[in-house]
A and B are shown apart, each in its own frame.
Chain A
Amino acid sequence: MRALWSLWRRDMLLALRRPSEVLTVVFFFVVVAALFPLAIGPERPTLRMLAPGVLWVGALLASLLALNRLFEADHRDGTLEQMLLSGTPLTLLVVAKIAAHWVLCGLPLVLLAPLLGVLFDLSGDALGVLALSLLIGTPVLSCLGAIGAALTLGLRGGGVLLALLVLPLFVPVLVFGAGAVEALAAGLGSGAHLSILMALLLLSGLFSPWACAQALRIALE
């Protein structure tokens, strides 16, 4: 437990001392979301219709930005080797890393989304569902993305490959995340979509750390 906690704390500390990486993700999300209403024009029904899709695609691409650095620094400076030899199961250490990554790169998106939703004239209920769908959905993106980051570790030009690997896996999250807000607007209620997102979170949360650990072992051979 001590190992997990200190790994999480170390990743947070490192990111806070060098905040440019986290700020890039947040800035990208804000810019994408802010430019769309300017480009589309002020028609409120159109904006309301586009909002869930635009905000979700923005969040998805923003979280993709930071993924390839998830394990890279630890791999380069030998920390990953020491993690493997630490006696703490690598699967659990990966959980700590994914958790830190989500708090740094996912949680800010969740908190910003309702603010940006106002730009699209979303109603209060819709803003709530949007934030909730991102709260459940972005950890799934972190979990799935971590598998891609572990698989492409140490490859040159791994960034493009990483995107190609994980984007198909991100699609269901996108569909049901944006779908939750649209369903609410259509008067259908967002419960079903959110439940499916939750199921995706449970599935990826269980499976992804184990898959990452296997991929990291191969990368270190």
Chain B
Amino acid sequence: MASHLTLGLRARDLSCIRGGKTLFAALDVSVLPGQSLHLQGDNGSGKTSLLRLLAGLSEPARGDILWGGRPMAQVRETYQQDMLYLGHALALKEGLSALENLQFAAAMTGQAWSPDAVTKALRQMGLRGREHMPLQVLSQGQKRRVALARLSLSPAHLWLLDEPFVALDAAACELLLGLMQDHVGQGGMLVFTSHQALSWRGGEHRSLRLGAP
């Protein structure tokens, strides 16, 4: 466990080809504990593709990804236990309540989150009184808040967030930024994409611009 944390996530010489077009080539990425990486770039520059590669959802055309110094293929299971990926799609069911959705998300990763803990996380995201409502009556932003409540519940050290600020109001953006900064401040690792310029306080924050000529 300790070795994962000291060596972090490292990708060497990554290339990604989508629809016959090279999105990026010979890309080196590394995230160590206490570091955050902000992926920037125009639409279609490969931010989401890079995140999906890092999450292990797709295979790179070239290059390899190391977790704790070992190739992803060897440590996939421990990596998945220690990583939280939130993509464009929120992986929430309209027919289930926020509470049920989060408890299901926990069970899928083999954890059990108590209803109290989930309720607390939902209230922290400003969803007091909506814990038991079916998701279909919540607004787009509120649904995103439900998905983001996973962040404060999951024990994962590495967060991979794809456009986490989309559809959030100013207060929720502030809340999320706080969560992200706390996570990195406590030695977590973070990779995220966003078009917003962020005022990041504390921790080691870098940004990587994809598709730059």
B93–A14 touching, CB < 8 Å? yes
Number of B interface residues in the complex (CB < 8 A):
29
Q: Check A78 against B95 for contact (C-beta < 8 Å).
A: no
CB–CB A17/B95 < 8 A: yes
Please give me the residue from chain A that is nearest to B76 by CB atom: A87
The reply to whether B85 and A13 form a contact with Cβ atoms under 8 Å apart is: no
A160 contacts B by Cβ under 8 Å: no
CB contact under 8 A between A2 and B83, given known A76-B89, A77-B92: no
Residue B88 at the chain A interface, CB threshold 8 Å: yes
A6 in contact with B80 (CB, 8 Å): no
Q: A7–B93 Cα gap in the complex (Å)? A: 12
B112 close to A (CB within 8 Å): yes
A84 an interface residue at 8 Å Cβ cutoff?
A: yes
CB-CB < 8 A to B92: which residues of A?
Answer: 77
Contact with B along A69-86 (1 / 0, CB 8 A): 000010011110111111
Q: Let me know if B110 is at the binding interface, CB within 8 A.
A: yes
> Which B residues touch A17, using CB under 8 A?
95, 134
Known contacts A83-B108, A86-B108, A220-B57; decide if A10 and B89 are in contact (CB<8 Å): no
Interface class of chain B by DSSP: loop
B69 at the interface (CB under 8 A from A): no
B107 engages A3 (CB within 8 Å) = yes
Contacts A2-B107, A76-B89, A77-B89 given; does A85 touch B95 at CB 8 Å: no
A: contact size bracket: 20 to 34
Question: Given A18-B95, A220-B57: A81 and B85 within 8 A (CB)?
Answer: yes
Which of B55, B85, B91, B96 sits near A14, CB closer than 8 Å? Answer: B96
- Residues of B11-67 at the interface with A, using a CB-CB cut-off of 8 Å, are 55-59
Query: A221 contacts the other chain (Cβ, under 8 Å)?
Result: yes
Contact present for B89 and A3 (CB under 8 Å)? no
User: Given the complex of chains A and B, what is the CA–CA distance between A56 and B57 in angstroms?
Assistant: 40
Tell me if A24 counts as interface (CB < 8 A to partner B): no
Q: Which residues of chain A come closer than 8 Å to B85, judged between CB atoms?
A: 81-82, 85
Min CB distance B108 to A, Å, is 4
Q: In the assembled complex, which residues on chain A have CB atoms less than 8 Å from the CB atom of B109? A: 3, 86-88
| A87 to B107 Cα, complex, angstroms | 11
Cβ-based interface call for B185 (8 A): no
B77: Cβ under 8 A from any A Cβ: yes
CA distance A167 to B58 in the complex (A): 31
Closest to A89 in B: B77
- Whether A79 contacts B57 in the complex (CB less than 8 A), given A85-B85, A87-B80, A88-B108, comes out as no
Mark interface residues in B113-138 (1 if CB within 8 Å of A CB, else 0): 00000000000000000000010000
Is there contact, CB below 8 Å, between A79 and B91? yes
Contact residues in A for B56 (Cβ distance below 8 Å):
85
Measured CB to CB, the nearest residue on chain B to A73 is B93
- Chain A residues within an 8 Å CB radius of B104: 6-7, 10
CB distance from A147 to the nearest CB of B (A): 22
Q: Does A10 lie within 8 Å of B80, measured CB to CB? A: no
Q: How far is the CA of A49 from the CA of B65 in the complex (A)?
A: 64
Contacts of A82 in B (CB 8 A): 85, 91, 105, 108
Question: Is B81's CB within 8 Å of the partner chain A?
Answer: yes
Q: Does B90 contact A (CB under 8 A)?
A: yes
Determine if B77 and A85 form an interchain contact, defined as CB atoms under 8 angstroms apart: no
Q: Beyond A86-B108, A220-B57, is A78–B91 a contact (Cβ under 8 Å)?
A: yes
Residues of B within 8 A of A14 (CB): 93, 95-96
Residues of B within 8 A of A221 (CB): 57-59
Pairs A–B under 8 Å by Cβ, sample size 5: A14-B95, A77-B92, A82-B105, A85-B55, A87-B80
Q: Other than the known A17-B95, A88-B109, A221-B57, what 7 A-B pairs have Cβ atoms closer than 8 Å?
A: A7-B104, A10-B96, A13-B95, A17-B134, A76-B89, A85-B83, A87-B109
